[in-house]
C-alpha cells in the first residue's frame, strides 16, 4: 500500500490549445500545472460536495483515499464554477446565475432531511414550524 506522501506519475494527452488554456489558468491561480490538474480532477470527482457524515473516504475498491490538500486553494472552486457557467458567452442575470450555482440544493436538502428523519436524528414539528435535532 502506498504512503500518503508517495508520488506517482499520471500521463494524459490533450490538444495543444487545451494545454495552453490550462497553463494560463494555472498561472492566474499561482499554481503549478501539476497542482492545477490535480486540483481540478479532485474538484470534479467530489462534485463540489462535502463527504457524507461518517464517510471513511473509501473508494469503490475499499481503499481509503487520503484527502488531497488544497483541493480548492484560496476558495477558487466557486470562481471556477462561475467561469464555467459564463464560458458560453451568454449574459446571466443574478437570479439565473444563482440558480445555475445552486441547481439541485433544494433536492439535496430534501433528501438529507428525509434520510435524517428516517434515522430518527431530525424531526419536523408543524406546531413549531420547523426541523429540530432529535436527541
Domain tally, the chain: 1
The predicted model gives 29-38 an average pLDDT of 82
- Asked if the structure places residue 132 within a domain, the reply is yes
Q: How far apart are CA 82 and CA 84, in angstroms?
A: 5
What range does the domain containing 133 cover?
104-135
- Asked if the structure places residue 114 within a domain, the reply is yes
- Asked if the structure places residue 120 within a domain, the reply is yes
The pTM score is 0.35
- Asked if the structure places residue 96 within a domain, the reply is no
With 70 as the cut, is the pLDDT of residue 8 above it? yes
pLDDT tens digits, residue range 82-127? 888 899 989 999 888 888 877 767 778 888 889 899 999 999 888 9
**Burial class of residue 39 (count of CB atoms within 10 Å of its CB; 0-12, 13-18, 19+):** buried
Amino acid at each position: 500500500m502506498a504512503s500518503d506522501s508517495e508520488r506517482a506519475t499520471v500521463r494524459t494527452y490533450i490538444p495543444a490549445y487545451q494545454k495552453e488554456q490550462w497553463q494560463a489558468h494555472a498561472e492566474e491561480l499561482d499554481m503549478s500545472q501539476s497542482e492545477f490538474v490535480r486540483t481540478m480532477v479532485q474538484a470534479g470527482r467530489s462534485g463540489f460536495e462535502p463527504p457524507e457524515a461518517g464517510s471513511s473516504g473509501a473508494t469503490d475498491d475499499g481503499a481509503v483515499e487520503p484527502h488531497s490538500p488544497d483541493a480548492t486553494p484560496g476558495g477558487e472552486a466557486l470562481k471556477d464554477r462561475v467561469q464555467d457557467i459564463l464560458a458560453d458567452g451568454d449574459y446571466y442575470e443574478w437570479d439565473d446565475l444563482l440558480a445555475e450555482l445552486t441547481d439541485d440544493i433544494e433536492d439535496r436538502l430534501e433528501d438529507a432531511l428525509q434520510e435524517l428523519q428516517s434515522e430518527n436524528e431530525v424531526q419536523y414539528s408543524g406546531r413549531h414550524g420547523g426541523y429540530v435535532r432529535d436527541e
